[in-house]
A and B are shown apart, each in its own frame.
Chain A
Amino acid sequence: EVQLVQSGAEAKKPGESLTISCNSSGHSFKSNWIAWVRQTPGKGLEWMGMIFPDDSDTRYSPSFQGQVTISADMSINTAYLQWSSLKASDTAMYFCARLIGSSGWFDYWGQGTLVTVSS
């Protein structure tokens, strides 16, 4: 059974750094695109970017390019989403999801990681 298990909720202050994770099991981690999706009450679901772990090919939405870094560690089947300097506007729920093909659909999702940024 394919499972994506994300790290727990985080409460941070503006300016702090943060890395959240998404551990995969039940499938070939290196051969599937793993994407990150942000959900906020006002803007719904937004694709942030994705990574193909086998060759670390990484693609970002223009809205998130330069704002976050996506990476993966094939040795532990885990993808990461990283911020170097959080803003209050980064407060949201973040999901990882497996993408079928390079332009297909998301078939499995992580349970979500709530990130709260507040002074």
Chain B
Amino acid sequence: QSMLTQPPSASGTPGQSVTLSCSGGTSNIGSNSVSWFQQVPGTAPKLLIYRNNQRPSGVPDRFSGSKSGTSASLAISGLQSEDEADYHCAAWDGSLSGPVFGGGTKLTVL
């Protein structure tokens, strides 16, 4: 089961900004960095954010990440129709000695 908590769904209209949340604990987000993935149904996850707020080459700066304590957030500005996807957070967990994921948030662009 997921050890990070994400809301199951979120929505926004084109051009709007949305923020997706990810909540964990002291053994994961509280002591390790967070990454975020975008997954279009039927495809593999794609890395969007690593080390809490770093974007890989090619990821638009409309996507930004932040972390505070045992929670993290992914902000998407200037929402576009192609942003409609599932978004997953992840962090290393010291108790598991492995990564844990959130259950994913399905973002709908209305």
Binding site for B on A (CB under 8 A): 35, 37, 43-47, 49-50, 59, 61-62, 95, 97, 99-100, 103-112
Contacts and interface: CB of A to CB of B under 8 A. Distances in A.
User: Which 9 pairs from chain A and chain B are nearest by CB?
Assistant: A105-B35, A45-B101, A109-B44, A44-B103, A105-B50, A103-B92, A47-B98, A47-B99, A44-B2
B96 A62 contact: yes
Interface string B40-75: 000111110011000010000000000000000000
B22 interface: no
Nearest to B99: A47
- Chain B interface size band reads 20 to 34
Chief secondary structure at chain A's binding surface: strand
Nearest to B42: A112
Given A44-B104, A106-B37, A111-B44, 19 more contacts: A43-B103, A45-B45, A45-B90, A45-B104, A46-B101, A47-B99, A47-B100, A49-B98, A50-B98, A59-B98, A61-B98, A62-B96, A95-B44, A103-B92, A105-B50, A105-B90, A106-B35, A106-B90, A110-B44
